Chains A and B, each alone.
Chain A
Amino acid sequence: MSAELSESLARFFIGGAVVSFFAVLAEIFRPKSFAGLFGAAPSIALATLGLTISSHGPRYAAIEARSMVLGAIAFLCYAAATAWLLWRHKPRALSATVSLIPIWFAVSFALFLVIR
């Protein structure tokens, strides 16, 4: 098995486990505004940064973390827009979250172009 494939498999299983763990936390906590905090937990980062550090070194991972700040700002815009749309117009949650996902792409890539 190639090193690339085994790293992807490790990412898949570690990522799946970490994301599921945070999803369980989001399910058990009340009130829902508190549980929502875990919807934006650093699950992907916790799952993959360790592997990135071991394969590419800490400086490479630090560059990824710098971009992650921009991704988090984009996520903030996306989650705030979703909350507003659901509160104000009450569409189905899946329709709202999927239709607004371009906000994440637009904001994160706009910020990426600004700091490039």
Chain B
Amino acid sequence: MIVGARFSAIKGIKPHEWIIRFVFGGAVCVAAGLIAQHYGPVVGGLFLAFPAIFPASVSLVEAHEKQHKRRAGYDGANRGRIVAAIDSYGAAIGCIALAAFALVFWIWLPRTSTWVVFPLATLVWLTVAVGLWLLRKRLFHKPRQTRKEPNHSR
């Protein structure tokens, strides 16, 4: 399986982690609105792509992986940071899709209905994100080498 979903991971999210994400997300949305009000839509628009919860999510990824390894009897600090790096790498790919989402809004919003632009931009974001992720996997992912069986025929 290329991609899997583990719904039991939701149970592992602690209440304070939910609160951090909710409050940070809400606060950045309010801040983006206030900045647009004071400095205009050109400056305010930049903050629509502000990495609002990125620091919090990457640190939580590190903490979860560390805990997971500790339960197995390892230190887990190094492994946690490597997984956090992989998560950040995925986010970097996601940024290209984020730019495609914004591009759809910029070009189509003055020309067509909002009800068309919202689902269209979301679909473009998802397609570009997943497409680039699959492309990267196809181009750079090296298959694991299997150990060769010794040749006893001679």
**Interface residues, chain A, CB within 8 Å of chain B?**
7-8, 11-20, 23-24, 26-53, 56, 58-76, 78-80, 82-84, 86-87, 90-94, 96-98, 101, 104, 108-109, 112, 116
Let me know if A62 and B106 touch, CB within 8 A: yes
Q: Give the docked Cα–Cα distance between A36 and B32 (Å).
A: 23
Contact B26 A79 (CB under 8 A): no
Question: What count of chain B residues pass the 8 Å CB interface test?
Answer: 81
Would you call B57 and A23 a contact (CB within 8 A)?
Answer: yes
Q: A14-B29, A19-B25, A72-B102 are in contact. Are A33 and B86 (CB under 8 A)?
A: yes
Q: Is B48 a contact of A82 with CB atoms below 8 Å?
A: no
12 A-B residue pairings within 8 Å (CB atoms): A32-B87, A37-B133, A42-B102, A56-B41, A61-B41, A67-B42, A68-B45, A70-B46, A76-B92, A78-B51, A90-B82, A116-B42
The answer to whether the Cβ of B24 comes within 8 Å of any Cβ in the partner chain is yes
- Do residues A40 and B89 form an inter-chain contact, with CB atoms below 8 A? no
Q: Is the interface of A mostly helix, strand, loop or mixed?
A: helix
B109 lies within 8 A of A62 (CB):
yes
* B53 contacts partner chain A, Cβ-Cβ < 8 Å: yes
CB contact under 8 A between A37 and B45, given known A42-B125, A76-B96: no
Select which of A38, A97, A112 is within 8 A of B55 by beta carbon: A97
Decide: A29 near B3, CB < 8 A? Known: A11-B33, A101-B55: yes
Docked complex Cα distance between A16 and B80 (Å): 26
| B104-149 at interface with A (beta carbon < 8 Å) | 105-106, 109-110, 114, 118, 121-122, 125, 129-130, 133, 136
Nearest first, the 9 closest Cβ-Cβ pairs linking A and B are: A36-B90, A19-B25, A15-B29, A67-B45, A71-B49, A40-B94, A16-B26, A64-B45, A65-B105
A26: B residues at CB distance < 8 A: 57, 87
Establish whether residues A83 and B29, one from each chain, have CB atoms under 8 Å apart when the complex forms: no
Residue B74 lies at the interface, judged by CB distance under 8 Å to chain A: no
Q: How far is the CA of A19 from the CA of B27 in the complex (A)?
A: 11
Are A58 and B109 touching (Cβ within 8 A)?
Answer: yes
> When the two chains form their complex, are residues B86 and A32 in contact, meaning their CB atoms are under 8 A apart?
yes
